[in-house]
Structure 1
Amino acid sequence: MYPFLRMFWGLHRAKSMPRMGLFDTHVSEHRCWPQDIDMWMELNNGRTLTMYDLGRIPMTARLGVMDVLKSERWGITVAGSVVRYRRRIRPFEKFEMRSRGLFWDDKFFYMDQTIWKKNGECANHAVFRTAVTDRSGIVAPDKVMAKIGNTDPSPEPPEWVTHWLKAEETRPWPPVKT
């Protein structure tokens, strides 16, 4: 089940935090609970993606995007991700999540997220391609940026993200049925 209570708690906490800039880092503390683990007694890889929601969505609240989503009756969705897993998170282990915006293009926003163990090791790293949506489809990022009062252009993406995006362009859609 989706961790709604944890999400609401994260949003509640975000409301009491100062507003942040587009490329500032939102830091949140989490714990791996028994419902988050798999049969190998570690944070499940799929649950890790859900845990990243618990950092990304409060971050958007601190950016002022949630207010715009509500007023415009827009939604937000994940359109792609790339994740690298390197260290296990064990049951009851506390960890820190760091979430920040990277850049945007004509359709999507890109966000960088990491999970850090208490000993300072990075457990995993993800980049998410997200979109703001309305009833007609994707809302242009420039329109969203104008609504939150940003007129600055997007920074350039990191080189490795550019390579990921170029690789994604070669990927067939829909996939070939096998």
Structure 2
Amino acid sequence: MNLWFRLLVLFVTSLFRPRMHARSDVSRLRLRVLPNDIDGNVHMTNGRYWTIFDLGRLDMVLRTGLAKVAMRAKWAPIVGSGAIQFRRELKPFHAFDLETRLIGWSGTRLIVEQRIFTGSDRTLTARGLLLIGFYDRGNRAFVKAETVLQAIGVVDTTSPPLGEAANALLATDAALKSEIDDWTALR
């Protein structure tokens, strides 16, 4: 995270925004493309989308109460895998809306969808899916998604049905892990 000013604003404003319910609510942040977000093509650089997505996930974690729970339990939030599709470019000083929501979970993975919209017609600019886990430093293991959700008061911890893209990301994550394990064994 290298967006220090935006991060500070997020921490302060999250204190005054309503609490989110993990299963049903969507985090919405209104942001603007700043000069340090652009690349040589004079649009927001692809790598900046991932950093902007951090802000949306942090807003969700703060407003669901998960940040307090994670700090007390010494759980570290970790992005395991992600995929993004870029649909439109974002030019300097262009305003955009970042939406972040939990769409499901499997095992120790929470699946988060993040979307960027622009304009009054809400044109989709980018969509990302990320697999998030909470690593328990004391037990040296990832925490089951159901345990994470119960810790913030979610009663029904049955995941909603996952879409094709979410299932494909889970499969890709498993394949990458398998190949890393194979590669490590060869060393």
User: Counterpart of 2:91?
Assistant: 90
Q: 2: distance between equivalents of 1:167 and 1:107?
A: 16
Query: How does the TM-score come out when normalised to structure 2?
Result: 0.87
Q: Secondary structure at the match of 2:102?
A: strand
**Structure 1 gaps, min length 5:** none
Letter in 1 for 2:155: T
Residue among 156, 164, 168 paired with 2:161: 156
Q: 2: distance between equivalents of 1:76 and 1:170?
A: 22
Q: Is the 8 A contact 2:111 2:166 kept in 1?
A: no
Q: 1: distance between equivalents of 2:162 and 2:88?
A: 26
Q: CA deviation at 1:70?
A: 1.6
Q: Does 1:173 align with 2:179?
A: yes
Structure 1 runs of 4+ aligned residues shifted over 6 Å read none
Q: Is the 8 A contact 2:37 2:48 kept in 1?
A: yes
Q: CA deviation at 1:103?
A: 0.7
Letter in 2 for 1:124: A
**Structure 2 gaps, min length 5:** none
Q: Is the 8 A contact 1:18 1:62 kept in 2?
A: yes
Q: CA deviation at 1:167?
A: 4.0
User: Counterpart of 2:19?
Assistant: 19
User: Percent of counterpart pairs with the same letter?
Assistant: 25
User: Counterpart of 1:70?
Assistant: 71
Q: CA deviation at 1:83?
A: 0.3
Query: How does the TM-score come out when normalised to structure 1?
Result: 0.91
Q: Secondary structure at the match of 1:133?
A: strand
Superposed counterparts of 1:101-140, under 5 Å: 101-119=102-120, 120-135=122-137, 136-140=140-144
User: Counterpart of 2:147?
Assistant: 143
RMSD of aligned C-alpha atoms? 1.9
Q: 2: distance between equivalents of 1:149 and 1:14?
A: 19
Q: CA deviation at 1:54?
A: 1.1
Q: Secondary structure at the match of 1:126?
A: strand
